């Protein structure tokens, strides 16, 4: 699935990943391929994205995630 | 006719002014490019955020939240945004004019407070009794500092103060007055309502069935502040880009005018020089004739 992490100042990450883990308001959750459409709020924590080459971590203060048709858009702060 | 030396001095002074204005134009053009890039950078974020908000707008209309509820407008906070520096045409004056208009017409019955962002507008409202004073928000005379290092974080600091003051009921309406960037030559004066939040029009009646996590209301509660900060930051970025655009245009005109002035002065200088030579020849010829006679 395709993921984009945006902040008001810059685009931090853009690319294909296998799984992404988010610090959701109601607890951490992961998103994999073919996830149902979802909008979720984030709290401060780390976003971890994993692809075949390894994983990357991004610290966020909060934000919101939109999952739609294998496209994940993270509006982070 | 003015004497030669005088004209020569003027020519050299106009020349150096022209050099300054054309250098400023170049600098503004470079800065404008950067400011424009930042707006473009910001756009996908802002668009996505408003899309998400549109999905939730139905809920927003119903929910009870201090940021959304309309109250009777008794106390208004105006936030005019200008630059820290002058020499950019009507850029700052337009914002100040619009702020005064709002204060004296639209909100004449309300108690208006002005919280200026940018040194120029602060200078203009420095002696006004409407100037914000107190410790709810940051010091208005320092608010221009945000333009020295314009980042989302710095802009959020100001915005959070405003949000808190609104939340606590110190103001019933918050209006932003700023120059919207249209293109390098055109700025549009905007008066935009920051608070209370107006529910965006839902488009396409939310055809996608999203899972909302946590519930819609909690989601909105965390989304509204970031939407406000984004709106505020966007206004600052817009104003920043407009400033450089306005300065570029103003300096371009100034350079052109200096060029015209220079041409005129050169013409006068040559005429004066010619006249001086003619007089000299006449004198010599006259003298020679007197001797021969």
Do B13 and B47 reside in the same domain of the chain? Answer: no
Beta strand pairing status for B75-80 and B173-183?
parallel
Query: Nearest-CA residue of chain B relative to A43?
Result: B222
Contact criterion met (CB < 8 Å) for B214 and A26: yes
Residue B213 pLDDT > 90: no
- The H or E element that residue A76 is part of is strand A71-76
Q: Could you report the per-residue pLDDT of B105-123, keeping only the tens digit for each?
A: 888 888 888 888 888 888 8
Residue B162 pLDDT > 80: yes
Do B84 and B185 reside in the same domain of the chain? Answer: yes
Q: Which of B9-13, B117-121, B156-160 has the highest mean pLDDT?
A: B9-13
Residue A40 distance to chain B (closest CA, Å): 5
Query: Nearest-CA residue of chain B relative to A29?
Result: B213
Q: Rounded distance, CA B13 to CA B11, Å? A: 5
Domain boundaries, chain A: 2-76
Q: Rounded distance, CA A28 to CA A42, Å? A: 9
pLDDT confidence of residue B125: 87
Q: How confident is the model at residue B135 (pLDDT cuts 50, 70, 90)?
A: low
Query: B interface mutation test: which of A4, A6, A8 has the most B CBs within 10 A?
Result: A8
Q: How confident is the model at residue B253 (pLDDT cuts 50, 70, 90)?
A: very high
Q: Rounded distance, CA B83 to CA B97, Å? A: 15
Helix (H, G, I), strand (E, B) or coil at B8: helix
Of A8, A66, A77, the CB nearest to B52: A66
CB-based contact B239:B158 (threshold 8 Å): no
For residue B147, the enclosing domain spans: 30-249
Do B230 and B257 reside in the same domain of the chain? Answer: no
Number of CB pairs, chain A paired with chain B, less than 8 A apart: 79
CB within 8 Å of chain A, chain B residues 33-52: 38, 41-42, 44-46, 48-49, 51-52
Q: How confident is the model at residue B277 (pLDDT cuts 50, 70, 90)?
A: very high
pTM confidence score:
0.85
Q: Rounded distance, CA B88 to CA A2, Å? A: 44
Per-residue tokens: B201? 């029009």
Q: For B78, left (φ over 0), alpha (ψ -120 to 50), or beta?
A: beta
Token pair 């998400």: residue: B52
| B226 touches A: beta carbon within 8 Å | yes
Contact criterion met (CB < 8 Å) for B213 and A25: yes
pLDDT confidence of residue B205: 53
Token pair 């505020």: residue: B232
Q: In total, how many domains does chain B have?
A: 2
pLDDT confidence of residue B137: 67
Do B109 and B232 reside in the same domain of the chain? Answer: yes
Q: Residues of chain A whose pLDDT is less than 50? A: none
* A2-76 CATH fold: ATP Synthase; domain 1 (2.60.15)
Q: How confident is the model at residue B7 (pLDDT cuts 50, 70, 90)?
A: very high
Do B213 and B114 reside in the same domain of the chain? Answer: yes
- Asked if ipTM goes beyond 0.90, one says no
Q: How confident is the model at residue B219 (pLDDT cuts 50, 70, 90)?
A: confident
Chain A CB contacts of B223 under 8 Å are 41, 64
| CATH code where residue B188 lies | 3.40.1380.10
Residue B210 distance to chain A (closest CA, Å): 5
Q: How confident is the model at residue B56 (pLDDT cuts 50, 70, 90)?
A: confident
Give the full edge-to-edge strand order of the sheet including B111-114: B111-114, B75-80, B173-183, B186-195
Do B140 and B188 reside in the same domain of the chain? Answer: yes
Do B207 and B281 reside in the same domain of the chain? Answer: no
Which residues have C-beta within 8 Å of that of residue A31, sequence separation ≥ 6? Answer: A1, A19, A20, A21, A22, A38, A65, A67, A72
Residue B207 pLDDT > 60: no
Catalytic residues of B: 88
- Per-residue burial over B233-261, b = 16 or more CB atoms within 10 Å of its CB, e = otherwise: bbbbbbbbbbbbbbbbbbbbebbeebeeb
Chain A CB contacts of B44 under 8 Å are 6, 11
**Phi, psi at B89, each rounded to 5°:** 65, -140
| CATH code where residue B258 lies | 1.10.287.80
Q: Could you report the per-residue pLDDT of B61-108, keeping only the tens digit for each?
A: 677 777 887 888 888 999 999 988 888 888 999 999 999 999 888 888
Q: What is the DSSP string of B229-281?
A: HHHHHHHHHHHHHHHHHHHHHHHHHHHHHHHHHHHHHHHHHHHHHHHHHHHHH
Do B191 and B123 reside in the same domain of the chain? Answer: yes
Q: Rounded distance, CA B185 to CA B47, Å? A: 25
pLDDT confidence of residue B12: 95
Do B225 and B260 reside in the same domain of the chain? Answer: no
Do B229 and B283 reside in the same domain of the chain? Answer: no
Q: What is the mean pLDDT of residues B250-278?
A: 94
Do B211 and B279 reside in the same domain of the chain? Answer: no
Do B130 and B203 reside in the same domain of the chain? Answer: yes
pLDDT confidence of residue B202: 63
Residue B196 preceded by cis peptide, ω within 30: yes
């Amino acid at each position: 699935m395709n993921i984009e992490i945006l902040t008001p100042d810059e685009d931090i990450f853009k690319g294909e990943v296998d799984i992404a883990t988010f610090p959701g308001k109601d607890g951490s959750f992961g998103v994999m391929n073919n996830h149902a459409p979802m909008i979720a709020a984030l709290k401060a924590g780390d976003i971890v994205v994993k692809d075949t080459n390894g994983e990357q971590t991004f610290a966020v203060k909060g934000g919101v995630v939109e999952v739609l048709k294998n496209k994940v858009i993270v509006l982070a702060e | 006719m003015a004497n030669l030396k005088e004209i020569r001095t003027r020519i050299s002074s106009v020349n150096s002014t022209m050099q300054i204005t054309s250098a400023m134009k170049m600098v503004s053009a470079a800065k404008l490019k950067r400011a424009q890039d930042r707006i473009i950078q910001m756009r996908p974020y802002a668009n996505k955020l408003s899309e998400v908000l549109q999905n939730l707008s139905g809920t927003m209309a119903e929910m009870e939240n201090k940021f959304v509820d309309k109250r009777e407008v008794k106390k208004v906070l105006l936030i005019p945004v200008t630059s820290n520096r002058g020499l950019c045409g009507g850029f700052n004056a337009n914002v100040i004019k619009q702020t005064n208009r709002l204060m004296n017409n639209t909100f004449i019955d309300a108690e208006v407070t002005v919280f200026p962002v940018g040194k120029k507008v602060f200078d203009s409202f420095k002696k006004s009794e409407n100037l914000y004073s107190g410790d709810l928000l940051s010091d208005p005379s320092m608010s221009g500092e945000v333009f020295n290092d314009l980042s989302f974080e710095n802009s959020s600091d100001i915005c959070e103060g405003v949000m808190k003051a609104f939340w606590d009921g110190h103001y019933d309406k918050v209006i932003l007055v700023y120059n919207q960037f249209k293109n390098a030559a055109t700025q549009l004066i905007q008066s935009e309502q920051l608070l209370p939040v107006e529910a965006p029009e839902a488009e396409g009646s939310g055809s996608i069935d999203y899972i909302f996590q946590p519930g819609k209301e909690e989601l909105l509660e965390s989304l509204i502040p970031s939407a406000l900060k984004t709106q505020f930051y966007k206004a600052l970025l817009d104003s920043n880009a407009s400033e450089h655009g306005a300065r570029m245009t103003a300096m371009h005109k100034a350079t052109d005018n200096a060029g015209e002035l220079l041409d005129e002065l050169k013409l006068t200088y040559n005429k004066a020089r010619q006249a001086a030579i003619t007089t000299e020849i006449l004198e010599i010829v006259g003298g020679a004739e007197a001797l021969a006679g």
